Structure 1
């Protein structure tokens, strides 16, 4: 599989609807954020933000990616993005982070749905219809199947794209964002791992 196709497949795995992996609620994928404790063979141990340490199986089929920082100016009309946002007092959405997807991953996780970066946080994966420079960053008009919304992206918000990585990047102390399915024995079946690289931490 080419790097481009492998990366696209990883993004598909990063789709945020539970039905992408299984039908039962018990198999619903979870998002795990934390620091790598160790990697031994295919067994990855991660200390989560919640304080516990979990065990994740990283198979050959598990997508491993890293993040690369880009500029707010790199978000252009026609870009396909994923933006986590929080509503302000006026109800308007302000981005907490933005991922600009490579063209090969256009359409991944399309839609607007609840997220877990804070109370009432949401994720919008959508096409950028317009970009307007404002006094506090840029305002994006986003459209997706079934709807649209506008999100303000402040100048200090992390803007990244994803790049291929390997298991050799999964070293102790690195921060990770993982999509995994819980197993009955308390371990996890890893679907996608996004790992810190060159000091750039996954902001998702």
Structure 2
């Protein structure tokens, strides 16, 4: 399998798992954000932002990716993006981060749904119809099946794309974003892992 196809498949699973969480109940995938405490065999121990430490089983079938920082200017009309955002005082959506998908992953997780990056946060996976330069960043005019959004991207918002990574990069102290399913014994089964690389932590 080519790196491009492998990444597209990985992205598909990642975004679909994210969409599933938007409608989650107990036992459904959840997002785990934190720092790696240890990784041995298939056992990944992560200290979550919320304070607790959890054990995640990352078997060989799990996908591992990293993030690469790109520029706001890399977002063009026709790009396919995932933008986590929160409403500002004026009600306008302001991006907390933007993920620019590789072309092979266009259409994955398309839509606008609740996210868990903060109170009232949302995720919009959509096509960029227009990029409008403003004094506080850029406004992305986005469209997806069934709707459209305008999201302001501040100059300090992280903008990244996904790149392939290896299990060897799951080292102590690195930040991770994991899509995992809780098991009955209190541990988790990891499906997707996005790990910090070259100082760029997953902002999702």
2:143 and 2:24 mapped to 1: Cα distance? 30
Question: What is the RMSD of the two structures over their aligned residues, measured on CA atoms?
Answer: 1.5
Provide TM-score, normalisation by structure 1: 0.96
| Structure 2: stretches of 5+ with no match in the other structure | none
Counterparts of residues 110-125 of structure 1 (less than 5 Å)? 110-125=110-125
CA separation in 2, counterparts of 1:9 and 1:135? 38
Structure 2 CA distance, aligned partners of 1:149 and 1:45?
37
Tell me how many residue pairs correspond in the alignment: 202
SS of structure 1 residue aligned to 2:89:
coil
Task: Tell me how far 1:79 sits from its aligned partner.
Answer: 0.2
Corresponding residue for residue 201 of structure 1: 201
Partner in structure 2 of residue 89 of structure 1: 89
Displacement of 1:27 in angstroms is 2.5
Partner of 1:33: 33
Structure 1: stretches of 5+ with no match in the other structure: none
Aligned partners of 2:21 and 2:30 also within 8 Å: no
Provide the residue aligned with 2:20 in structure 1: 18
Cα displacement string for residues 20-61 of structure 1 (whole angstroms, at most 9, x for unaligned residues): 9xx983331000000001111011000101111111111111
Q: Residue 134 of structure 2 corresponds to which residue in structure 1? A: 134
Matching residue of 1:150? 150
After TM superposition, the score normalised by the length of structure 2 is 0.96
Alpha-carbon deviations, 1:108-166, whole Å to 9, x = none?
Answer: 11100111111111100000000011111110000001000100001111000000000
